[in-house]
Each structure stands twice: as C-alpha cells, then as structure tokens.
Amino acid sequence: MRILVCPGDGIGPEIIAASIDVLGKADQIFDLGLQYDYEDIGFASLEKHGTTLRPEVLEKAPTYDGLILGTVSHADYPAPEKGGRNVSAAFRCELDLYANVRPSRTRPFLTSNMREGKSMDLVIMREATEGFYPDRNMALGWGEMMPSKDMALSVRKITRHCSERIARRAFELAMKRKKKVTAIHKANSFHMTDGLFLECVRNVAREFPEVELNDLLVDASTAHLVRSPEKFDVLVATNFYGDIISDLAAELSGSLGLGGSVMAGDDLCCAQAQHGSAPDIQNQDKANPTSMILSVSMLMRWIGEHRQKPNFIAAADAIDKAVDAVLANPETRTADLGGKMGCKAFGLKVAEAIQKG
C-alpha cells in the first residue's frame, strides 16, 4: 500500500512524524505493507518551487492508495498569483475528496467542556467542494468581490449533485451506526441554497427508510449540541456550517486536538488533522498529535473497507484503542490536556500501547 505524505506547515511535520511512528508499529503487527513517498507543500514548497502546491503533486496523488496531509497555514500564504495556493481546498476540489468526515466522542476519563453526565458519539459529514468558500464556487476567479471600497459581496454555490452525494454518504454511515441523520441548514433564510440542500437530503432519505431523518437550523444545532449531544448520530451539512459545528463538537468532546478527520472521495481518501497549523508552537515538541493519529486510523479503516482488507480495519481498531489507553493516564497526556508528554513521546507511547494490545 503506497501512501503519499505531505507534512505541511507549522506543527504538521511533527504530528505526522508521530503518526508515522504509530503506523509503523501497526504495520509491523498487522502486516499492512505500507510504503511512503514524501512531497513538500506549503511554505517549504513555496521556498523551493515558488508555489505552495505544485501541479505534479496533485497529478500523482490519485496513483496512491491513500494520502496523509499535514496542517497548512493558508491564511498566511501570499496571494494566489504569487504562488499562495490553498492546499486543502485544492486537494478537496481537484481530487474530488468531497466528504469531510469528522467524528467526535467523549471519553469519560478526560476532563472536558461537556457538562457533567453528558456524552457524545457522533459524526459530522461535511460537504467540502462548494458552499460559501470563495476559492471553490466559481468557474473562473474568486467568489468574493467588492463593487466599491465600502461594499463586499460573496457568492455561494450549492448543487444538487454535491448535496445528494454527501447526503447518501451520511445515510450509508448512519446504517452502520444508530440509524439517525440530522440535516443542518438555514433554509428559513437561504430559501434557494439551503432549500435545495434540504430537498436533496429528503429525497435521498427515501432510499433509507430504516434511518430516522431530522433537520435543525444551524444556529439551533449549536444549542442542541451543548444541551443534548447524546441525541445526535450522523449530522450532514454544507461546507461552512459543517466546518463550524465540527469544531464545536470536537471541543465539547474534550479538545479540538482530539478530532480525527478524513477527506474522502469515491476512490481516494486523505487523512488530515481537524485543527490548524499552530505556528506559535512549531518545532517545540509541544503539539498534541492525537487528531493526526486518529485521522490516519480513519484512513486505514477507509482502505480496509474499500479494498476489502480486514487487517487494515483491525489496525485502525488497535490504534483507536491505544490512543484511548494512553489518554486515560494523566501522566501520558500532552500539555494541552494537562500532561507533560511531548509530541514525539506521545506517538511512541501510542505505538507501545498497540504492541501491548
């Protein structure tokens, strides 16, 4: 299994290195046969090649069995005409990795922002190739404009094709879980765009009569996530809403640093941590690699399910179990969770926990 690894910016190289340590142990035990190729992206690529993402990296990405993408500092990149391309957006749009899958669950042994007695085990299925994001909703050019220096406009794109396929992935996932889907929208204000999205979700729901469908306004969903997170199973949302509520859910579960994430298409999957690049702590061994480790675990599970390889699913189970085992001990947590362990040591401790089983 050939994996393309792009370390990225900020803490990206550190959390990916820790994740590769974990994968190495899983590979040894479960005979995964992983082979890695590395490519620079972000500022490292900009310095060497004059662009944050070379076209040849995207061209060869589909030839791999899986992708691992580090964190990116795209807000700090120069303008696109000066080489500052949004790497995550390019991966999602040009490789059609349209499903950004973001699970969140509480761990009872971790102190979190969740109110006492509340629990969470949900997955947010976020459409990732259109929506309010101005770099992916026009055939040419940018989806924001300024008719005058005192007025700014933004264009939003919602299509039936993208809405239906993300809805179908959400219902397929719900069939494997608690058979509940909640559609997140604001159709009371965005009658056409969110109205179309909601129509598509309801149409797809007819194909899954066993799944209970509910819908919530996006503002109300934030209150319900805080008040009664245990009621949710799979939430399906357009790009912008999904981005916001997934950060909320991850933080409620204990920390944004605990949120695994993959960007998946029909034939290719990319692991990428849910959080940002945190340049203020890069190269200090302070980063929490849990999100990246859980993301590569999700990638292994995706490969196992789509390539009919049970050993990859077993490896993903073992990684998830090992992460929980390490987090359960206050002495082996990273500093953001009240512990003293560095990024490298945490990854090695998870690898050791896989060995112990």
Q: Are residues 44 and 71 in the same domain?
A: yes
**Catalytic-role residue among 233, 243, 309, 349:** 243
Whether residues 92 and 117 fall in one domain: no
pLDDT of amino acid 115: 56
Q: Active-site residue among 121, 135, 247, 324? A: 247
Q: How many domains does the chain have?
A: 2
- Residue 160 maps to a domain: yes
What's residue 112's pLDDT? 52
What's the predicted TM-score (pTM) here? 0.94
Average pLDDT of 301-330? 97
Both tokens assigned to 6: 């792009």
Domain for residue 169, yes or no? yes
pLDDT tens-digit map of 272-288: 999 999 999 999 999 99
Tell me the C-alpha distance between 221 and 241, whole Å. Answer: 10
In a domain, 261, yes or no: no
Calpha distance 297→18 (Å, rounded): 13
Respond yes or no: is residue 121 known to be catalytic: no
Q: What rounded mean pLDDT belongs to the chain? A: 95
Residue 157 lies in a domain: yes
Mean pLDDT of 249-263: 92
Same domain, 118 and 241: yes
Looking at the structure, tell me whether residues 154 and 237 fall in a common domain. Answer: yes
The answer to whether residue 271 is domain-embedded is no
Query: Which pLDDT belongs to residue 135?
Result: 85
* pLDDT, tens only, 66-99: 999 999 999 999 998 999 999 999 999 999 999 9
Place of tokens 């994996």: 3
Residue 114 has pLDDT above 60, yes or no: no
- The Cα 180–Cα 174 span in angstroms is 6
pLDDT tier, 141 (very low <50, low <70, confident <90, very high otherwise): confident
Q: Measured on CA atoms in the order 315, 175, 173, 222, is the torsion positive or negative?
A: negative
**Which residues neighbour 161 within 8 Å (Cβ) at sequence distance 6 or greater?**
none
Does 5 lie in the same domain as 84? Answer: yes
Do residue 141 and residue 239 come from a single domain?
Answer: yes
Asked, for residue 270, whether it belongs to a domain, the answer is: no
What is the signed CA dihedral for 144, 239, 244, 11, rounded to 10 degrees? Answer: -90
Q: Is residue 257 part of a domain?
A: no
* The one catalytic residue among 64, 77, 98, 133: 133
| Judgement on whether residues 117 and 237 belong to the same structural domain of the protein | yes
Backbone angles phi, psi at 283, to 5 degrees: 60, 25
Geometric angle at alpha carbon 253, from 210 and 75, rounded to 5°: 105
State yes or no: pLDDT of 101 exceeds 80.
yes
167 with 242, same domain: the answer is yes
Task: Based on the fold, state whether residues 124 and 247 are members of the same structural domain.
Answer: yes
Express as a percent the part of the chain with pLDDT over 90.
89
Which of 31, 219, 266, 267 is the catalytic position? 219
CATH number, position 193:
3.40.718.10
Euclidean distance between CA atoms 236 and 171, whole angstroms: 9
- What spatial distance separates the first Cα and last Cα of the chain, rounded to whole Å? 23
Mean local confidence (pLDDT), 253-279: 94
Residue 267 designated active-site: no
- Rounded Cα distance between 47 and 83, Å, is 10
Give the model's pLDDT for residue 356. Answer: 87
**One domain for residues 92 and 132:** no
* Alpha carbons 26 and 23: distance in angstroms, whole number: 5
Q: Are residues 122 and 247 in the same domain?
A: yes
Question: In which domain, by residue range, is 223 found?
Answer: 113-252
Specify whether 353 is located in the same domain as 241. Answer: no
Among 197, 230, 252, the domain boundary falls at: 252
- Angle, vertex CA 167, rays to CA 271 and CA 219, nearest 5: 90
Residue 266 falls within a domain, yes or no? no
Which of 196, 231, 252 is where one domain is finished? 252
Q: pLDDT band at residue 320, thresholds of 50, 70 and 90?
A: very high
- Clarify whether 186 is annotated catalytic: yes
Q: Which of 15, 23, 18 is nearest to 318 (CA)?
A: 23
CA atoms of 137 and 144, how far apart (whole Å): 10
Is residue 243 annotated as part of the catalytic site, yes or no?
yes
Whether the Cβ atoms of residue 42 and residue 87 lie closer than 8 Å to each other: yes
Tell me, yes or no, if 317 is annotated catalytic: no
Which of 25, 186, 309, 349 is catalytic? The answer is: 186
